[in-house]
């Protein structure tokens, strides 16, 4: 059976490869055919048009050419010449009309890939040339080293003197000895440079930050940024290029509204938890956002940041209603890069890095452990376990095999791991066809110690190979075709034991139980039970090797339909994704021994505690998926004078199948189908309104409940465009208020961490357990309803959002602030109010839960240029708080035990009032569990019944999901040097410490390591109330280790998440080796952490410290463009 599946997967992979090859052949044949055709912009200019411009501004005339005749023009709205009035009437080709109206302003045009760009004419003043017989030359490039063709270069004092850069970004201009040169290009910031007798200039132009006319990504399309009414955030793709394997780990602190925490640093399994505006349901898994990569639902963790063009987060109902039953948790839209016209441009980036633990748990040594163990025994009247002779021999280190003193963190972990990444991409094309191809390689070697004696790789490691290719074809002036093929191949390796087992044992095994390995190379271990030697768990139990591969493909066609009506277009998309996972596990348990002493000759005597396996076992679990996604849409966009309208109607459908299914239920496809729509209207770019809807459903619900309607609306008001705000226009370019309200859904249903399907059907199983009669000692068999059918439907989220956008002139200061609230109802959960006497074998389920969530998020950026120094300050903050409104909990005996009104994930625990100081205090207080003595924790008797029990527990702390998430950073560039930093932090979050390694001797003296602060405990000689540990005692004969505020620790932190330092290599050097641009850089990740919690990495959120730790990274690299 395994062989058949393996052959099927190989055959399937070769079939995919053949299809991909045929697509590429077809694609490049098409490229050759279309490359020689006229561009979209040129064909529009060849049309004969009729115009009659009467005393209107040049800008109005250009807008008419765009809207009425669909001529794609690109120009700067800040050009003063656009306000000049013109009178012009003609019936001729559009190229001559454009030439005529532009020449009055000493302008002309250039035809680019799919648009027509307006530029100033190259005019050299003869008078100046005759007076000043000198020329200035220069080269102009973008910040990433791309040479910029078509940049307008003019003399500020006499704008008619000017030129444009050639295809290599070069220019020559006759100028006077003094004056100022102005460099302008659409999409880039205007630069002014004093001449000051200079003869050569090297200019670097920066991309203009989000402007009012910028086009931004929205659900199923794009819009002008000024017209947005919904709440959404973006992050520049270059800021995601940090030394991490997983894209999800690059998001924390960068985007307002996004809560991101990383719960493990294990290579290959280090996905961060991502929630947009926090948790609004009972399960963290149910709160994950929908992720779309190039329009198709996919995971973001394996997307290479180098291939990303834009990263957008949609947060409110106005932004996500078009996604219907998938939009309740927000949406992340990732668009990968495309090509630009011109000769091939290559980019190469490579770094080498070292990794280490962000926080290394510190344990007490063996001597301290033995003394504390003796103290715990004598505190309850028992005999000391370790003699002074044993302690002295352990301290001397004279026989570490018989008297071990092991630091298990050092035994299992090395100081440094390794990480490297390489990227190579190329883009280019013609006016008709553009392409982008990106490849990357990532390799991370983990931090486990290795045993050179074993003949297999037991080190944790992760390698990944990525490929992204996008080709855009302008097939005609009305037709555009886009093809994207992406994929990755990943290989991961792990020890035979799971990381959870390894860390449990590090915390559980005492430093004096046995050495990590005996002098003869055999494995030490205890007499009974499972293997608990942490070093052996890592090095002696075999290995697991995993292969994961996925192929993504997108084919999209866009057809303009002006012959039906101007502004109408149709789009169709087809996506086919294949995922395969193959794992090979080769494991065993080795022989183990225990030292019992040395003979007269000094030879160690051993007792064998386990007879191990001679050979590695074999297993090969596999997984696979196939997903088909189709989409078709009609889009409409027109401008009628001061009225701007647009609309969209879209149908989509997805079908996902488990290709390795082993049961009937697993084999049934996951299906989704729906209809979405949007209508927008604006007047004078001052008043905006938008209506969205999604009508869709999923296979998970009964036919009568399968589809739902999810509408939203939004309005916005640009106050800055009002006439009464004219006095502040020279300070604020934008002040806009936004409001939205709507309904979205969540079709995924879970009970705990288990996803449920087809809950509208009862599941019947055979079972025993039915008892009748007075004695009830019989046990009849029969059929049992394992899961009761319910009229299940989706969760519904009703959301409201109020926001404000403020932007100053020159885009120096930008503020976005949003307040939100949400009610999530119909949350699927098990009933808690059905009494046991009803006789049900399992609890029924239903759409019973209700949760409220509210908060705000904000982002602020400030940019300023001081001559050669450019400075940017940026920050964002998110706060949310949820509340359980209904969870079907039976009314408890006491109101503080009612979870309604509590935060999701908040704990119940006892209130610690301090430590008992005397026997009298114990005798006069409420009855505590166990044998209580001075130094034990004193708890609050909440219900006043004179005893401490579960009824005294109250809601304590905040839980493991932070309410406050924030990030701030500073970047500056000075000539060839640049530094960028990001600090990220969280607040209102806590950790409930627990487990053998935290609670000293809570089970027995044979189990449980001790933290290095163990001496900070209550003793008769040190009866302080502010000690970390209460009185030590063996086996927890009291309530000291109950969940309580004593063990609840503040989990807030501030972390230097990202630091990058770069140096741009001199131009004369890079030109001498025929490259365009190069820089060397240092990049650090998770470098510093400030937190009151010091015991292990605070971000793990784990009260036991038994997860693979997060890592910090130090890397150096090179970035080259050529």
**Complete DSSP assignment for 542-556:** EEEEEEEEEEEEEEE
Kindly indicate the confidence band of residue 1105, based on its pLDDT and cuts at 50, 70 and 90: confident
Kindly indicate the confidence band of residue 533, based on its pLDDT and cuts at 50, 70 and 90: very high
Residue where the block lists tokens 């307006």: 118
Q: How many CA atoms lie within 13 A of 712 on its CB side?
A: 36
The closest alpha carbon to 1039, from 954, 949, 953, belongs to 949
Per-residue pLDDT at 123: 44
pLDDT at 167 over 90: no
Whether the CB-CB separation of 143 and 205 falls below 8 Å is answered with: yes
pLDDT at 23 over 50: no
Torsion over CA: 254, 258, 261, 266 (sign) = negative
Separation between Cα atoms, residue 629 and residue 624, nearest integer Å: 17
Compute φ and ψ for 1080, nearest 5 degrees: -110, 150
pLDDT at 207 over 90: no
Kindly indicate the confidence band of residue 771, based on its pLDDT and cuts at 50, 70 and 90: low
**Average pLDDT of 930-935?**
92
Per-residue pLDDT at 789: 66
Per-residue pLDDT at 477: 84
Per-residue pLDDT at 145: 66
**Three-state SS at 923:** helix
Percent of the chain scored above 70 by pLDDT? 89
Count Cβ neighbours within 10 Å for each residue of 988-1008 and write b for 16 or more, e otherwise: bbbbbbbbbbbbbbbeebebb
Kindly indicate the confidence band of residue 168, based on its pLDDT and cuts at 50, 70 and 90: confident
Cβ neighbours, 10 Å, residue 916 = 23
Q: Where are the alpha helices (DSSP H) in 305-364?
A: 317-320
Mean pLDDT is lowest, of 265-269, 358-362, 756-760, 956-960, for 756-760
Whether the CB-CB separation of 852 and 885 falls below 8 Å is answered with: yes
Per-residue pLDDT at 779: 60
Q: Which helix (H) or strand (E) holds 920?
A: helix 919-923
Class of the domain covering 49-205 = mainly beta
Kindly indicate the confidence band of residue 164, based on its pLDDT and cuts at 50, 70 and 90: confident
pLDDT tens profile 109-140: 777 545 677 776 644 433 333 444 578 888 88
Burial class (CB in 10 A: 0-12, 13-18, 19+), 395: middle
Separation between Cα atoms, residue 278 and residue 256, nearest integer Å: 11
Residue where the block lists tokens 């985007």: 255
Whether the CB-CB separation of 171 and 138 falls below 8 Å is answered with: yes
Q: How many CA atoms lie within 13 A of 138 on its CB side?
A: 28
**Structural Rg of the chain based on CA atoms:** 34
Per-residue pLDDT at 810: 73
Kindly indicate the confidence band of residue 184, based on its pLDDT and cuts at 50, 70 and 90: confident
Torsion over CA: 299, 304, 308, 314 (sign) = positive
Kindly indicate the confidence band of residue 39, based on its pLDDT and cuts at 50, 70 and 90: very low
Beta 200-205 vs 135-142: how paired, if at all?
A: parallel
Residue where the block lists tokens 């937190």: 1091
Q: How far is CA 1043 from the centre of its chain?
A: 32
Residue where the block lists tokens 């996951």: 670
Contact partners, residue 198, CB within 8 Å, separation at least 6? 136
pLDDT at 357 over 60: yes
Structure tokens that stand for 370 in this block = 């033995």
pTM value is 0.82
**Three-state SS at 599:** coil
Per-residue pLDDT at 436: 96
Residue where the block lists tokens 């991101």: 260
The closest alpha carbon to 676, from 706, 647, 646, 643, belongs to 647
Q: How far is CA 643 from the centre of its chain?
A: 38
Per-residue pLDDT at 1070: 82
Kindly indicate the confidence band of residue 1040, based on its pLDDT and cuts at 50, 70 and 90: very high
Whether the CB-CB separation of 471 and 553 falls below 8 Å is answered with: no
Which range, 79-83, 103-107, 811-815, 909-913, has the best average confidence (pLDDT)? 909-913
570 - beta bridge partners?
559, 634
Per-residue pLDDT at 22: 47
Residue where the block lists tokens 């932070």: 962
**Which of 568 and 760 is assigned the larger pLDDT?**
568
Q: Which helix (H) or strand (E) holds 715?
A: strand 707-718
**Average pLDDT of 353-381?**
94
**Three-state SS at 229:** coil
Whether the CB-CB separation of 389 and 399 falls below 8 Å is answered with: no
Separation between Cα atoms, residue 617 and residue 830, nearest integer Å: 40
Structure tokens that stand for 629 in this block = 């996604």
Per-residue pLDDT at 103: 75
Per-residue pLDDT at 716: 97
Contact partners, residue 1115, CB within 8 Å, separation at least 6? 243, 351, 352, 353, 354, 419, 1082, 1083, 1084, 1085
**Average pLDDT of 291-302?**
92
Whether the CB-CB separation of 889 and 832 falls below 8 Å is answered with: yes
Q: What angle do CA 249, 254, 255 make, to 5 degrees?
A: 110
Kindly indicate the confidence band of residue 38, based on its pLDDT and cuts at 50, 70 and 90: very low
Q: Which helix (H) or strand (E) holds 516?
A: none
Q: Which helix (H) or strand (E) holds 164?
A: strand 158-164
Structure tokens that stand for 422 in this block = 């390489």
DSSP assignment of 140-189 equals EEETTS-B-SS-EEEETTEEEEEEE--TTSEEEEE--SS-EEEEE-TTB-
Separation between Cα atoms, residue 258 and residue 253, nearest integer Å: 8
Kindly indicate the confidence band of residue 904, based on its pLDDT and cuts at 50, 70 and 90: very high
Kindly indicate the confidence band of residue 703, based on its pLDDT and cuts at 50, 70 and 90: confident
Bin 977: left if φ > 0, else alpha if -120 < ψ < 50, else beta.
Answer: beta
Q: Which helix (H) or strand (E) holds 266?
A: none
Whether the CB-CB separation of 1088 and 319 falls below 8 Å is answered with: no
Separation between Cα atoms, residue 695 and residue 326, nearest integer Å: 11
Per-residue pLDDT at 770: 58
Per-residue pLDDT at 186: 60
Separation between Cα atoms, residue 316 and residue 821, nearest integer Å: 9
Whether the CB-CB separation of 422 and 350 falls below 8 Å is answered with: yes
pLDDT at 19 over 50: no
**Three-state SS at 795:** strand
Residue where the block lists tokens 């028992």: 382
Whether the CB-CB separation of 968 and 985 falls below 8 Å is answered with: no
Kindly indicate the confidence band of residue 479, based on its pLDDT and cuts at 50, 70 and 90: very high
Whether the CB-CB separation of 206 and 212 falls below 8 Å is answered with: no
Per-residue pLDDT at 688: 97
**Which of 246 and 477 is assigned the larger pLDDT?**
246
Whether the CB-CB separation of 496 and 350 falls below 8 Å is answered with: no
**Average pLDDT of 1029-1041?**
86
Per-residue pLDDT at 107: 79
The closest alpha carbon to 59, from 46, 40, 78, belongs to 78
472 - beta bridge partners?
434, 482
**Average pLDDT of 596-616?**
91
Per-residue pLDDT at 2: 44
**Average pLDDT of 552-573?**
94
Per-residue pLDDT at 366: 96
Taken as a whole, the chain contains a residue count of 1122
**Which of 442 and 115 is assigned the larger pLDDT?**
442
pLDDT at 8 over 70: no
Burial class (CB in 10 A: 0-12, 13-18, 19+), 1069: exposed
Q: CA-CA distances (angstroms) from residue 11 to 18, 63, 859, 1000?
A: 11, 56, 50, 56
**Which of 776 and 1023 is assigned the larger pLDDT?**
1023
**Average pLDDT of 1055-1075?**
90
**Which of 123 and 156 is assigned the larger pLDDT?**
156
Per-residue pLDDT at 5: 43
Q: What is the DSSP letter of 179?
A: -
pLDDT tens profile 650-676: 999 999 999 988 888 888 999 999 999
Q: Which helix (H) or strand (E) holds 1063?
A: strand 1053-1064
Query: What is the residue-averaged pLDDT of the chain?
Result: 87
Kindly indicate the confidence band of residue 757, based on its pLDDT and cuts at 50, 70 and 90: confident
Q: What angle do CA 940, 945, 947 make, to 5 degrees?
A: 60
Separation between Cα atoms, residue 693 and residue 713, nearest integer Å: 9
Burial class (CB in 10 A: 0-12, 13-18, 19+), 250: buried
Per-residue pLDDT at 1106: 87
**Average pLDDT of 877-898?**
94
The closest alpha carbon to 818, from 318, 250, 292, belongs to 318
pLDDT at 641 over 80: yes
Burial class (CB in 10 A: 0-12, 13-18, 19+), 36: exposed
Largest alpha-carbon pair distance within the chain?
A: 120
Per-residue pLDDT at 548: 94
CA distance from start to end of the chain: 52
pLDDT at 1044 over 90: yes
pLDDT tens profile 981-1000: 999 999 999 999 998 888 88
């Amino acid at each position: 059976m395994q062989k058949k599946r393996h052959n099927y997967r190989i055959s399937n992979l070769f079939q995919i490869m053949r299809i991909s090859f045929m697509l590429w052949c077809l694609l490049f044949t098409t490229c050759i055919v279309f490359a020689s055709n006229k561009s979209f912009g040129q064909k529009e200019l060849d049309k004969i048009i009729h115009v009659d411009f009467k005393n209107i501004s040049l800008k109005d005339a250009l807008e008419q050419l765009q809207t009425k005749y669909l001529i794609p023009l690109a120009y700067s709205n800040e050009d003063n010449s656009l306000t000049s009035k013109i009178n012009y009437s003609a019936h001729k080709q559009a190229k001559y009309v454009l030439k005529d109206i532009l020449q009055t302003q000493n302008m002309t045009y250039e035809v680019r890939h799919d648009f027509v760009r307006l530029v100033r004419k190259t005019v050299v003043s003869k008078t100046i040339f005759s007076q000043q017989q000198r020329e200035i030359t220069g080269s102009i490039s973008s910040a990433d080293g791309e040479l910029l063709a078509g940049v307008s270069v003019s003399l500020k004092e006499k704008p008619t003197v000017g030129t444009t850069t050639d295809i290599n970004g070069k220019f020559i201009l006759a100028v006077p000895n003094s004056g100022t040169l102005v460099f302008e290009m659409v999409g880039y910031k205007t630069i002014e440079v004093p001449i000051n007798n200079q003869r050569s200039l090297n200019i670097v132009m920066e991309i203009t930050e989000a402007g009012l006319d910028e086009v931004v990504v929205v659900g199923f399309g794009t819009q002008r940024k000024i017209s947005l009414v919904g709440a959404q955030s973006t992050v520049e793709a270059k800021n995601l290029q940090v030394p991490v394997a997983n894209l999800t780990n690059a998001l924390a602190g960068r985007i307002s509204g996004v809560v991101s925490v990383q719960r493990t640093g294990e290579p290959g399994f280090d996905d961060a938890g991502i929630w947009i505006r926090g948790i609004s349901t009972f399960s963290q898994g149910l709160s994950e956002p929908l992720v779309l990569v190039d329009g198709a639902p996919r995971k973001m963790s394996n997307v290479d940041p180098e291939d990303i063009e834009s990263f957008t987060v949609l947060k409110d109902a106005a932004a996500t209603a078009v996604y219907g039953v998938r939009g309740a948790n927000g949406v992340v839209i990732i668009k990968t890069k495309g090509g630009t016209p011109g000769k091939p441009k290559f980019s190469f980036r490579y770094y080498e890095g070292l990794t280490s633990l962000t926080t290394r748990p510190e344990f007490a040594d063996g001597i301290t452990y033995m003394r504390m163990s003796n103290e715990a025994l004598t505190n309850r009247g028992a005999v000391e376990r370790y003699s002074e002779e044993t302690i002295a021999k352990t301290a001397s280190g004279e026989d570490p095999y018989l008297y071990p003193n092991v630091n298990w963190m050092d035994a299992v972990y090395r100081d440094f791991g390794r990480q490297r990444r390489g990227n190579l991409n190329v883009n280019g094309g013609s006016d008709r066809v553009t392409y982008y191809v990106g490849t990357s390689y990532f390799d991370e070697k983990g931090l486990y110690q290795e045993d050179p004696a074993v003949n297999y790789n037991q080190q944790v490691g992760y390698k990944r190979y990525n490929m992204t290719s996008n080709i855009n074809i302008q097939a005609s002036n009305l037709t555009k075709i886009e093809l994207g093929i992406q994929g990755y191949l990943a290989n991961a390796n792990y020890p035979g034991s799971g990381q959870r087992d390894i860390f449990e044992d590090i915390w559980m095994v005492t430093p004096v139980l046995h050495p990590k390995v005996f002098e003869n190379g055999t494995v030490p271990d205890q007499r009974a039970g499972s293997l608990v030697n942490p070093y052996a768990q890592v090095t002696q139990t075999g290995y697991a090797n995993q292969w994961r591969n996925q192929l993504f493909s997108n084919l999209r066609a866009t057809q303009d339909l002006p012959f039906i009506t101007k502004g109408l277009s149709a789009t169709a998309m087809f996506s086919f994704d294949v995922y395969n996972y193959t794992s090979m596990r080769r494991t065993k348990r080795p022989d183990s021994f225990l030292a019992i002493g040395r003979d007269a000759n000094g030879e160690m005597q051993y007792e064998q505690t386990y007879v191990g396996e001679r050979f590695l076992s074999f297993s090969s679990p596999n997984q696979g998926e196939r997903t088909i996604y189709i989409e078709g849409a009609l889009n409409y966009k027109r401008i009628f004078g001061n009225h701007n309208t647009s609309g969209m109607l879209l149908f989509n459908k997805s079908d996902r199948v488990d290709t390795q299914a082993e049961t009937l239920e697993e084999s049934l496809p996951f299906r989704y189908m729906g209809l979405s729509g949007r209508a927008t209207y604006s007047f004078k770019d001052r008043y905006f309104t938008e209506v969205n809807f999604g009508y869709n459903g999923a296979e998970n619900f009964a036919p009568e409940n399968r589809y739902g309607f999810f509408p939203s609306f939004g309005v916005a008001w640009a106050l800055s465009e009002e006439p009464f705000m004219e006095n502040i226009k020279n300070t604020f370019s934008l002040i806009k208020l936004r409001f939205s309200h709507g309904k979205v859904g969540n079709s995924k249903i879970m009970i705990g961490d288990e996803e449920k399907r087809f809950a509208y059907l009862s599941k019947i199983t055979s079972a025993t357990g039915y008892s009748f009669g007075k004695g009830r000692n019989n046990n009849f068999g029969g059929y049992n309803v394992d899961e009761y059918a319910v009229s299940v439907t989706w969760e519904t989220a009703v959301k409201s959002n109020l926001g404000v956008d403020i932007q100053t002139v020159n885009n120096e200061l930008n503020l976005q602030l949003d307040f939100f609230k949400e009610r999530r109802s119909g949350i699927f959960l098990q009933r808690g109010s059905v009494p046991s006497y009803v006789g049900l074998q399992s609890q029924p389920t239903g759409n019973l839960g209700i949760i409220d969530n509210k908060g705000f998020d904000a982002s602020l950026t400030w940019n300023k240029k001081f001559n050669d120094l450019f400075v940017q300050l940026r920050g964002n903050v998110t706060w949310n708080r949820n509340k359980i409104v209904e969870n079907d909990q039976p009314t408890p005996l006491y109101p503080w035990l009612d979870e309604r009104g509590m935060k999701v994930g908040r704990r119940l625990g006892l209130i610690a009032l301090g430590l008992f100081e005397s026997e009298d205090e114990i005798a006069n207080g409420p009855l505590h569990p166990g044998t209580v003595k001075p130094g034990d924790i004193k708890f609050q008797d909440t219900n006043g019944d004179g005893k401490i029990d579960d009824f005294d527990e109250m809601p304590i702390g905040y839980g493991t999901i932070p309410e406050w998430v924030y990030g701030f950073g500073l970047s500056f560039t000075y000539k060839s040097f640049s530094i960028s930093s990001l600090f990220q932090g969280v607040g209102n979050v806590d950790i409930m410490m627990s487990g053998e390694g935290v609670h000293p001797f809570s089970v027995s003296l044979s189990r449980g390591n001790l933290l290095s602060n163990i001496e900070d405990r209550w003793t008769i000689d040190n009866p302080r109330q502010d000690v970390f540990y209460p009185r030590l005692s063996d086996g927890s004969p009291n309530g000291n280790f109950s969940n309580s505020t004593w063990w609840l620790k503040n989990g807030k932190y501030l972390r230097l998440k990202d630091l990058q330092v770069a140096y741009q290599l001199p131009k004369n050097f890079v030109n001498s080796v025929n490259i365009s641009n190069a820089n060397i850089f240092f990049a650090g990740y998770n470098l510093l952490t400030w937190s009151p919690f010091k015991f292990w990495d605070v971000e793990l959120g784990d009260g036991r410290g038994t997860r693979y730790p997060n890592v910090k990274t130090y890397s150096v690299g090179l970035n080259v463009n050529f």
